[in-house]
Amino acid sequence: MALNPYKLRKDFPILNRKINGYPLIYFDNAATSQKPIQVIEAIKKFYETHNANIHRGMHTLSQEASDMYDESRSKIAKFINAEEEEIIFVRSTTEAINFVACTWALENIGEGEEIVISRMEHHSNILPWRIVSKIKKARLKVANISPVGSLDYENLQELITEKTKLIAIVHVSNVLGTINDLEKIVKMAREVDAKLLVDGAQSVPHMPVDVKKIDADFLAFSGHKMLGPTGIGVLYMKKEIEEEVEPFFGGGGTISDVNCREDECSVEWASIPLRFEAGTPNIAGVIGLAAAVEYLDKVGMEAIRIHEEKLTKIALEKLREMKRVKVYGLREAENRAGIVTFNVEGLHPHEVASFLDQYGIAVRSGHHCALPLHRALGAFDGTVRASFYLYNTIEEVEFFIGELKELISKFSIS
């Protein structure tokens, strides 16, 4: 069923804000999403009525907090069709990817072996692999993108060899909105027995994602981009891999036994995934993320995808009609998520964003933590990015286009 953004908007208190006298039009969803009252209330209720530390207290509050934390894990697992144990709570996508780098990758990638990424990665899916390749003297290979903004699958295939241990690829580009063909990529990985890590920061919040269907080994995503709070993210790790991996962070909650003699401490780790969640976790964050997932489930991920596709199609068509506007990425809205990225000839991206802000329109300008991609696009000063979510409307897109036209006519150079 189609979603009704006008109805959903009522759940988001921040959307009542005025910015510079104009109603807020929030098109910076790829950076972080706004939060519905249901999520804000879930966190508030936890602190007001159930707050205690988890998994280590016999008193009522601790039991309640533990139950809420554990139930949240199962809701979040179900959301991506994973097993409960396969969900490791971390702070963010960035931490999830670094987690794989510090654990599985350091243990399993050796000198002369290869990690393959693409030129459309966010820095969070480049730098951890640079660190691993430096430490392990492994090779980091980077697949090109095609001139139209898709992954160059031929080049990717050429880069993958028998020495490839890991392919780390973004599901949806945070700049171009391109949706990568994971089915194709997982096949390439399996042919050489390499693992596949998927950066799901821009896909999990916006479309149905089923880890069993994708068959990736690792999937990383952030709560704050999917209506949840900041400071909570998820690393999905396939169970059979998780059981083999040594914890990187040790601490409270990670063990079933520790025994220290004079010159040695031995340890029996707790079961998965608890052995990976050292110290007091972000309990309220996990509960807030579960409320976000519940909200998204109710609206329907397919409906969200369709709604964003509609807004993207309109924005792309109108932007492409405009003189002096260069739009990046694939022509078809069906193959891209709700992200449109462009530049206005003669204006710096920050000038465009600042102008739009005067009318209450929040867009992002800069390199969006994807410098190699901007170099490949020849957009050295960066780009302007408008990214949509379930509460955005056609009227907002039209207002944004109208103000952009106004800007272009104001700064017209003959």
Ligand X SMILES: Cc1ncc(COP(=O)(O)O)c(C=O)c1O
Question: Please, which residue, 66 or 94, has the CB nearer to ligand X?
Answer: 94
For the chain, the maximum distance between any two Cα atoms, rounded to a whole number of angstroms, is 82
Contact indicator for 145, 174 with CB cutoff of 8 Å: no
Residue 196: both structure tokens together: 């596949």
Identity of the residue, 254 or 387, whose beta carbon is nearer to ligand X in the bound complex: 387
Burial (0-12, 13-18, 19+ Cβ within 10 Å), 22: middle
Q: Is 142 in the site for ligand X (CB under 6 A)?
A: no
Q: Which of 180, 202, 343, 383 binds ligand X (CB under 6 A)?
A: 202
Sheet holding 164-170: strands in order across?
A: 87-90, 233-237, 218-222, 195-199, 164-170, 114-118, 139-143
Q: Residue 213 has which token pair?
A: 């269907």
Least separation, in Å, of the C-beta of 201 and ligand X?
Answer: 3
* Rounded to 5°, angle at Cα 233 from 215 and 198: 30
Binding residues with ligand X: total (CB under 6 A) = 14
Q: Which is nearer to ligand X, 30 or 188 (CB)?
A: 30
Determine whether 265 is an active site residue: no
Among 29, 34, 98, 124, the residue binding ligand X under the rule CB under 6 A is: 124
Among 94, 118, 180, 341, binds ligand X (CB under 6 A): 94
In whole angstroms, the minimum distance from the beta carbon of 232 to ligand X comes to 10
Member of 174, 178, 282, 341 binding ligand X (CB under 6 A): 174
**Which of 93, 180, 383, 392 lies at the binding interface for ligand X (CB under 6 A)?**
93
* Cβ atoms of 311 and 394 closer than 8 Å: yes
Stretch that binds ligand X, among 35-43, 121-129, 239-247, 260-268 (CB under 6 A): 121-129
| Distances in whole angstroms, Cα of residue 242 to Cα of each of 160, 193, 238 | 24, 17, 6
CA distances from 198 to 170, 181, 207, 407 (A): 6, 11, 14, 38
In whole angstroms, give the CA distance from residue 201 to residue 226.
Answer: 9
Residue 170 sits in the site that holds ligand X (CB under 6 A): yes
Between CA 328 and CA 132 the distance in angstroms is 32
- 178 binds ligand X per the rule CB under 6 A: no
Q: Does 201 bind ligand X (CB under 6 A)?
A: yes
Comparing CB distances to ligand X, the nearer of 234 and 407 is 234
Nearest approach in angstroms of CB 240 to ligand X is 25
CA dihedral 246, 251, 255, 259 (to 10 degrees): 100
Q: Should residue 164 be labelled a site residue for ligand X when binding is judged by CB under 6 A?
A: no
- Site mask, ligand X, residues 5-44, x = CB under 6 A? -------------------------xx-------------
Closest CB 237 distance from ligand X, rounded Å: 17
Compute the least distance from the CB of residue 203 to ligand X, in Å: 9
State in angstroms the smallest separation of the CB of 296 from ligand X: 17
Q: Categorise residue 300: left if φ over 0, alpha if ψ from -120 to 50, beta otherwise.
A: left
Identity of the residue, 131 or 347, whose beta carbon is nearer to ligand X in the bound complex: 131
Per the listing, tokens 């702070």 go with: 91
* Least Cβ distance, residue 286 to ligand X (angstroms): 15
Could you say whether residue 282 binds ligand X (CB under 6 A)? Answer: no
> Which token pair is 361?
């329109």
| Catalytic residue list | 369
> Where do contacts with ligand X occur on this chain (CB under 6 A)?
30-31, 92-94, 122, 124-125, 170, 174, 199, 201-202, 222
